[in-house]
Amino acid sequence: MALLDRAIVHLLPAVPRPVVRIISSRYIAGSDLHDAVETVRRLNAHGKKATIDVLGEEIATEEETRAFARAYENVLDAIAREQLQSGISVKLTALGLQLDEQLCRENLDAVVDAAAAYGNFVRIDMEDATTTDATLRLYRELREAGRDNVGVVLQASLRRTVDDVAALVDLKPSVRLCKGIYVESPAIQYRDPNEVRASFMHSLDALLDAGCFVGIATHDDRLLDESKRVLAERGLGTDAYEFQMLLGVRPHVGDALVAEGHKLRIYVPFGAQWYEYSLRRLQENPSIAGYIAADTVGRILGRKNGSA
């Protein structure tokens, strides 16, 4: 299967852009802010909250990082103006993390302050393992400076995550817990799916023990069932957690969570660089190409069978 996934990724650049656009339109709201607003409005109408991500690639200059921060301020403005139920998700590399940590901090401060002025919340996405220390460091700095409308992401597939939870809980952080999308060296990352799940559940337990708010970000049936069991055993209400999913991924599973009374937030990426972003993510993690290919073929076959 891994070979097939990698073959799909190699073939992708040869697939005509309009075809990639049709396939990716399920997972990406569109190229501009208006597309994101319409997507979030639709999700809100179905009882789902959102977090909006501005897609960007290859940030090389200070001016580009400042433009990114301004783009997020526009998103926050649109969320308030359109009265949407949505926060934002930011990648620190887009704000300059790999150029200059101080520049990144300034951009992040600007975005977090703008969000606070609107009564909104900023989630700092977690990127590849070269950024983990700096991301957690900046998160701690913000919180110690009294900025509370900000949360972070931890990746259960990293061996360090259980320790990161322990090191963070004094801040009572709002954490999005996910498996982690980046493929890292086995020395620092669990590869066995069951080890990743065990780390996920261990981290979830530790975060809930410490009274942290957790965004349980997964589409994995086993983790969803286990998490629901843990939440029920602890008698936790929806002020203590929410489920989170990616736009277009297993939406029927998300519908079921909402119908059961859970809060659900959908990650909504948009941006002019949707094509570059899609290719890069697929190259980083070819198994996603397999998921998308299987899903696309399944939906085509489903339609042929008359079950849309």
Residues that are catalytic: 125, 176
Binding segment toward ligand FDA, per CB under 6 A, in 6-14, 39-47, 140-148, 287-295: 287-295
Taking the complex as a whole, the smallest distance from the CB of residue 50 to ligand FDA amounts, in Å, to: 10
Query: Of the candidates 131, 132, 199, 218, which one interacts with ligand FDA according to CB under 6 A?
Result: 218
Tokens at residue 26, please?
């399920």
Query: CA distances (Å), 257 to each of 165, 203, 240, 279, in order?
Result: 26, 21, 16, 30
If one counts every other C-beta atom within 10 angstroms of the C-beta of residue 98, the result is 16
Query: Of the candidates 217, 231, 264, 282, which one interacts with ligand FDA according to CB under 6 A?
Result: 217
Taking the complex as a whole, the smallest distance from the CB of residue 78 to ligand FDA amounts, in Å, to: 20
Taking the complex as a whole, the smallest distance from the CB of residue 125 to ligand FDA amounts, in Å, to: 3
Q: Which lies closer to ligand FDA via its Cβ, residue 178 or residue 204?
A: 178
Nearest-CA neighbor of 244 among 284, 215, 269, 224?
A: 215
Alpha-carbon distance of 153 to 163, in angstroms, equals 14
Q: Does 90 bind ligand FDA (CB under 6 A)?
A: no
Q: Does 180 bind ligand FDA (CB under 6 A)?
A: yes
Alpha-carbon distance of 85 to 82, in angstroms, equals 9
Query: Of the candidates 47, 283, 291, 293, which one interacts with ligand FDA according to CB under 6 A?
Result: 291
Residues 104, 75 contacting (CB under 8 angstroms): no
Query: Of the candidates 79, 153, 177, 204, which one interacts with ligand FDA according to CB under 6 A?
Result: 153
Q: Which lies closer to ligand FDA via its Cβ, residue 208 or residue 216?
A: 216
Taking the complex as a whole, the smallest distance from the CB of residue 69 to ligand FDA amounts, in Å, to: 18
Tokens at residue 146, please?
């009294």
Beta pairing class for 122-124 and 150-155? parallel
Tokens at residue 2, please?
């891994």
Q: Does 250 bind ligand FDA (CB under 6 A)?
A: yes
Query: Of the candidates 118, 182, 213, 275, which one interacts with ligand FDA according to CB under 6 A?
Result: 182
Q: Which lies closer to ligand FDA via its Cβ, residue 15 or residue 117?
A: 15
Residue 296: partners with Cβ closer than 8 Å, 6 or more residues away = 23
Query: Of the candidates 38, 57, 77, 220, which one interacts with ligand FDA according to CB under 6 A?
Result: 220
Q: Does 179 bind ligand FDA (CB under 6 A)?
A: yes
Q: Does 126 bind ligand FDA (CB under 6 A)?
A: yes
Beta pairing class for 264-270 and 175-178? unpaired
DSSP string, 51-118: EEEE------SHHHHHHHHHHHHHHHHHHHHTT--EEEEE-TTTTTTTT-HHHHHHHHHHHHHHHHHT
Residue 80: partners with Cβ closer than 8 Å, 6 or more residues away = 118, 120
Q: Does 255 bind ligand FDA (CB under 6 A)?
A: no
Taking the complex as a whole, the smallest distance from the CB of residue 246 to ligand FDA amounts, in Å, to: 5
Nearest-CA neighbor of 153 among 165, 171, 142?
A: 165
Residues of the shown chain interacting with ligand FDA in the complex, contacts defined by CB under 6 A: 125-126, 153, 155, 176, 178-182, 217-220, 244-246, 249-250, 267, 288, 291-292, 295
